[in-house]
Structure 1
């Protein structure tokens, strides 16, 4: 049985209004056995901010997204989403481990687009997009259909609404996956290497869709990517990760043109030379 770490305890709840971050990690630890993936991580994302996480594979970037979606549980620390603890809830004046109802409530404001498209092959594009809004949010089928049409227009696939995923290219499937995530009207959109499974010639179309979303909406975006030009174009802030820690952070112009840390410089040199 894994022994508890004296540091791996819920952080004290901050006073109301003490932080305007929409997402806040406080001393978050994630381990797999002896492998520390996140090492007492502190970071914040403001509402409406677009933050990109860069760094080598295994540095903890995707783990952050999976923790926010409650696909993983932290070993310590507290994750806050819009002022509510994701991992704990208040009971009797104390923070106790969250139950499933609390988790569903807090993560309802978060949407995620994965590396793989994860569309239901037996459903049309329309049903892939409308199924969750109808059955989870309780919206009418007519309203869900209208929203699906609007989102497919946004991602450039309005004519594919009655197609099945097998009739679409990989890039088109990923654009449908983006529309499906937006159909739930999330406040936060998580993007996990969304072009990594695509053929190179399909990458630009997906990135153009995301650039359009970034510049025409006020959605908060937290993105993991190796597409450095995309990170430079859409981000308000870029965080360089290595070994579960933030090595450096700053605006894209500074990170990509004048990185302060040698680890950032060596990573960017390796990535940009590929």
Structure 2
């Protein structure tokens, strides 16, 4: 469902990703872990076309995201092509990014009506269903400012799901929440993972969530994959010294 082939990304003289190659299978849940600045969030931003790549190609569902075919050759994708492929991807950000001037209903129907062409009634029916799923069915007419951080993040998750994505990207979705709200959001994401066939690529510092939620965990450092394995294997018997060092630091074990 996701394929990075020789992807490179630089910011000025700083190389963030160099010749990155990895794939994520349809329906697979993959979590990226590693120190801050290792390139994890950049991967999500490239998939959302919030950043452009400097080398290689990215494909989503078999379609090139970063490029398009023209005259038998691959050329950089134009905005229309990227937008069509990007419709298959939903993202939940650290800071919720809800539209403050819209109600919860407005936040959930904006994308489906504008990008997918749903009628307002169809989009509202979908929004109502999703708000029930995330436990906020009674908040549809509230504005985000009247919701707690945990409630806002649940709305953001529902908004991403409203686009019926094939791929869901999660970028440190609990980092802006008070500690007592984290467990509820993580439990919701576990439920979504267990009850849908959405492909999920997640960046998190919540190692317990990564262990429970993932089919595969990828350890990143310096813009490259240090190692990858099923969570039980990576967390209990990591092969690489860098992985052991990182886990020792974040889990507080010697």
Shorter-chain TM range is over 0.9
Q: Greater CA deviation, 125-134 or 54-63?
A: 125-134
User: Which residue number corresponds to residue 219 of structure 2?
Assistant: 240
Stretches of structure 1 lacking an aligned partner (at least 5 in a row):
1-21
Report the Cα distance in structure 1 between the residues aligned to 2:179 and 2:157, rounded to whole angstroms.
18
Q: Greater CA deviation, 175-184 or 116-125?
A: 116-125
User: Which residue number corresponds to residue 109 of structure 1?
Assistant: 88
Report the Cα distance in structure 1 between the residues aligned to 2:150 and 2:225, rounded to whole angstroms.
31
Secondary structure class of the residue paired with 1:77: strand
| Structure 1 segment 181-196 matched on structure 2, within 5 A | 181-196=160-175
The alpha-carbon deviation at position 273 of structure 1 amounts to 2.1
User: Which residue number corresponds to residue 32 of structure 1?
Assistant: 11
User: Which residue number corresponds to residue 250 of structure 1?
Assistant: 229
The alpha-carbon deviation at position 24 of structure 1 amounts to 0.4
Report the Cα distance in structure 1 between the residues aligned to 2:148 and 2:191, rounded to whole angstroms.
20
With normalisation by structure 1, the TM-score equals 0.91
User: Which residue number corresponds to residue 216 of structure 1?
Assistant: 195
Stretches of structure 2 lacking an aligned partner (at least 5 in a row):
none
Q: CA RMSD in A?
A: 0.9
Q: Greater CA deviation, 130-139 or 177-186?
A: 130-139
What CA deviation, in whole Å up to 9, does each residue of 1:210-266 have, x standing for no partner? 011001111000000000111111100000000000000000000111111111011
User: Which residue number corresponds to residue 123 of structure 2?
Assistant: 144
Report the Cα distance in structure 1 between the residues aligned to 2:196 and 2:176, rounded to whole angstroms.
26
Report the Cα distance in structure 1 between the residues aligned to 2:222 and 2:99, rounded to whole angstroms.
35
User: Which residue number corresponds to residue 97 of structure 2?
Assistant: 118
User: Which residue number corresponds to residue 17 of structure 1?
Assistant: none
User: Which residue number corresponds to residue 77 of structure 1?
Assistant: 56
Q: Is 1:96 matched up with 2:75?
A: yes
User: Which residue number corresponds to residue 251 of structure 2?
Assistant: 272
Report the Cα distance in structure 1 between the residues aligned to 2:94 and 2:45, rounded to whole angstroms.
12
User: Which residue number corresponds to residue 9 of structure 1?
Assistant: none
User: How many residue pairs end up in the alignment?
Assistant: 253
Report the Cα distance in structure 2 between the residues aligned to 1:273 and 1:157, rounded to whole angstroms.
36
Q: Is 1:66 matched up with 2:45?
A: yes
Report the Cα distance in structure 2 between the residues aligned to 1:71 and 1:77, rounded to whole angstroms.
17
